[in-house]
Every structure is written in C-alpha cells, then in structure tokens.
Amino acid sequence: MNRPVQPLPTPAPVLAPHAPLPAWYGDEDEHQRFLRSIFDDTAPDYERIERILALGSGPRYRRKALQDAGLAVGADVLDVGIGTGLMAREALGLIGPKGRLVGVDPSPGMMGEVGIAGLELLQGRAEALPRPDASCDFLCMGYALRHIADVSAAFAEFERVLRPGGRVLVLEITRPASPVGNALLKAYMRTVVPLIARLVSGGHDNARLWRYYWDTIEACIAPEAVLAALGSARFTDVRRTVDLGIFSAYTAVKPA
C-alpha cells in the first residue's frame, strides 16, 4: 500500500533587519560580500574609533547589560558577531576562569583583532551557527543585528544552541522616536562620526563604515518587530530596555 505523501513544511518568511540599501549593494549575495570586505578592511582601527565615539563608556555599558541579563559565574557563553571582542572581554570578566566563551563572526579580519589568548573563534553567521544543539547557557550579540540577513532564522538558531533555561542578550542602536532626536543623530552619524573616523585612522573605508551604520539604523525594523521575532522563536520573558533613547537591550529566556 502506498503511503500518502507528506507535504513539505512551509519555510518561515525571511525577516530582514532592514530594507535593502541599494546605495551600498544590490542583492543579498552582494550584501554579504560588502559586509565581509568593509569589516575586514576596517578591523585594525575599529576599537580605537569606537572608544572615541563612546567616550570610554562602552565597556561599562556592556558589562552592566550582561549583568542585568543574568550572566553568571561559570557560564558557557556564545558571543555571536564577536567582532573585535568588545562584548567578549566584559563577559569573560563576569564568568570567571570556570566559565567558557566561544566567539562566532563572518569576518576573519575582525576576529584577527580580538587578541584574547585561548579564546575559541569560529567563522560563521548567526543564521547557521557552527555550534551543537543546547551547547551554551548564555548567548549575546552586540550591535550586529542590523548586519544579518534574516532575524527570524538567527533567533531560531539562538534557541537551538541554548540549553533549557538559557538566556539571550541582543544590544542594538535604535532610531530615536523623536523627529528632532532622529535628525540630530543622523547629522552626527552621517557627518561628524565619519570625519572623526577619517582623522583617527586616515582610511576612507572607516568613514564609509560609519555612514553605512547610520543607514542601517535609519532603515532598521522597529523594536516591536524584534520582540515579536524573539517570541516567535519560542523565547519567554522577552523584554527591551532603552538607555538615552537609542541604546536597546533585548533580553529573553529559553523555557526550562
């Protein structure tokens, strides 16, 4: 007897973090090549510029966000979009010598600047994490959500690699709700920041990177869409806290 053919599951719709930006790239393949190129090329100057722009407050903010999200001593941490290790350094200080941290990033250039002895680094993307199921207690992503291709696929991967009861923290820059605040931030990000980047590094690509940053911030999906995507990925206790009207910290828990 012939068994009935089971229909294939319908793939989840893609949730891009922002609308396409034709001024910077064409299709998604070109988008990924563009990101790889610009992050590889700007990696040596990235931290120096970030420290100047954040007025030295970045480490303190990241550390507090990790603490508030429940990062504990001895945790196994996965840092997605580790970049040059800005989040990782603060996380390592909180988990102590009994903890473990693995970093994942698509940019070899960025990972080459991490400089943390003994840290395991893997090249990969958020939508297809090179880690086993239920392999970490805590997952963090610092200011990389705007650079992935599919938020829903990434959050599904976050849920997959976390152990039951595991926690997730996503930091991102959010466009101000106020038109005046938005205009001021746009002027700062599109003119002042690229000028500082060029003066500090002397490289044209660094100025381009920070102009691109603003375009992704301006086009980014609303915080409500990020929260809904976390809920759709079966996370619970999904929350968002905001500092200075622009720094969003999204937190959630995988059910035990």
Query: Are 28 and 19 contacting, i.e. CB atoms less than 8 angstroms apart?
Result: no
CB 255 within 8 A of CB 188: no
pLDDT band at 216 (very low <50, low <70, confident <90, very high): very high
Q: For the residues 176-204, what does the mean pLDDT come to?
A: 86
- pLDDT at position 197, please? 86
What is residue 191's DSSP assignment?
Answer: I
Of the chain, the percentage scoring pLDDT greater than 70 comes to 94
pTM of the model: 0.92
b or e along 79-99 (b: 16 or more beta carbons within 10 Å of the residue's beta carbon)?
Answer: bbbbbbbbbbbbbbebbeeeb
Pairwise CA distance, residues 217 & 52, whole Å: 20
Share of the chain above pLDDT 90, in %: 76
Q: Which two tokens stand for residue 223?
A: 């915080």
Which residue has 């991102």 as its token pair?
A: 172
Could you tell me if 17 and 216 are in contact, meaning their C-beta atoms sit under 8 angstroms apart?
A: yes
Each residue's pLDDT tens digit, 108-159: 999 999 999 889 999 999 999 999 999 999 999 999 999 999 999 999 999 9
The Cα 184–Cα 178 span in angstroms is 10
Integer angstrom CA distances of residue 32 from 107, 151, 152, 243: 10, 15, 17, 30
Tokens 């090329």, residue? 41
Instruction: For residue range 25-63, list pLDDT tens digits in order.
Output: 999 999 999 999 999 999 999 998 888 888 778 999 999
Per the CB < 8 A criterion, the answer to whether 139 and 161 are in contact is yes
Give the DSSP H/E element, type plus range, for residue 141.
strand 136-142
Residue range(s) in the chain whose domain bears CATH number 3.40.50.150: 57-174+221-253
The pLDDT, as a whole number, for residue 57 is 87
Give the pLDDT confidence score for residue 1 in this predicted structure: 47
Alpha-carbon span 186 to 194, nearest angstrom:
12
Q: What is the CATH code of the structural domain delimited by 57-174+221-253?
A: 3.40.50.150
Which segments of the chain does DSSP mark as H helices, in order?
28-53, 58-68, 86-95, 108-111, 151-161, 179-187, 193-201, 204-219, 223-232
pLDDT band at 205 (very low <50, low <70, confident <90, very high): confident
